[in-house]
Amino acid sequence: MHVVKGYGVTRGMGSGRVFLYRPTRGEEPTFDLFINQKEALHTAIERSVADLEKDVAESRENATDTVRMVFEAHKLMVNDPLLVDAAINLIDTGMTAYQAYKTASEQIVSQFRLLTNDYMRNRVIDIIDATDRVLHALLAAEYEREFDFTEPHVIVMDQMRPSVIRNCHKPHIVGFIAESGAYDQHSSMIARAKDLPGVIVPGITKSLHDGDYVTIDGDTGTVVIDPDRNRK
């Protein structure tokens, strides 16, 4: 048995097999003269907004107002005029829609990381989560996924993305571990609304593998790795 100490962001305990979450992404598209890049960008944004509207509607029926408000905010982020205008200007310089939107969103993220206000810095992951949705749409790739396991799992990820936490449902997912995050991030608020325990442990993705057995304790901020259960 090996105990790893981190800090809890949501209370409670959970035990299960590890699932390492890795965002899926296809090949970055090359420039195609026959594709109107501005139209492609607007289409991807419209698809993303439509998907987020579904999330908002489902949250209104099955979750709290906190969860609904997070994805209402994401709708505004993906279609923010400053972001879209910056991406359009980059397309005019010869970039693909994908390159332009990615570059424009990274510039905004860089600006937020420089802020001294914790609340504003904690919105960085929301911007990444929201804009990654558009990038996936530009690649015709699905962004959200459902986690449907036959036994309890603990999801392990590098960052707490609200869209990932929203799709973690008991008994399939009984908790999460992330390499970075904070108590007042929107992902933590969603997890608390779902009664989903969570622990932050920097570098944890290098110590765990799919199928490992762990117990997490959000009250003490600990992760127990059970080698005996791992050999099952």
153-159 vs 13-20, strand pairing mode: parallel
Q: What is the CATH number of the domain that holds 192?
A: 3.50.30.10
Does residue 54 sit within a domain?
Answer: yes
Q: Are residues 73 and 151 in the same domain?
A: no
Helix (H, G, I), strand (E, B) or coil at 155: strand
Mean pLDDT of 187-197: 93
Helix (H, G, I), strand (E, B) or coil at 176: strand
Last residue of some domain: 89, 109, 138? 138
Does residue 102 sit within a domain?
Answer: yes
Mean pLDDT of 5-25: 91
Number of domains within the chain? 2
Confidence (pLDDT) at 85: 97
Last residue of some domain: 138, 155, 170? 138
Mean pLDDT of 120-146: 91
Q: Are residues 131 and 201 in the same domain?
A: no
Q: Are residues 125 and 153 in the same domain?
A: no
| pTM of the predicted protein model | 0.88
Does residue 28 sit within a domain?
Answer: no
Does residue 32 sit within a domain?
Answer: no
Q: Is the pLDDT of residue 116 over 90?
A: no
Confidence (pLDDT) at 63: 66
Q: Are residues 48 and 18 in the same domain?
A: no
| Sequence-separated (6 or more) residues with CB below 8 Å from residue 28 | 96, 98, 99, 139
Confidence (pLDDT) at 227: 64
Q: Are residues 126 and 64 in the same domain?
A: yes
Its domain, for residue 203, covers 2-23+145-230
Tens digit of each residue's pLDDT (9 = 90 or more) over 139-177:
988 898 889 999 999 999 999 999 999 999 999 999 999
Confidence (pLDDT) at 28: 76
**198-200 β-sheet, strand order:** 2-5, 222-225, 213-217, 13-20, 153-159, 173-180, 198-200, 7-10
Q: Is the pLDDT of residue 220 over 90?
A: yes
Last residue of some domain: 75, 109, 138? 138
Q: Are residues 127 and 105 in the same domain?
A: yes
More confident residue, 146 or 196: 196
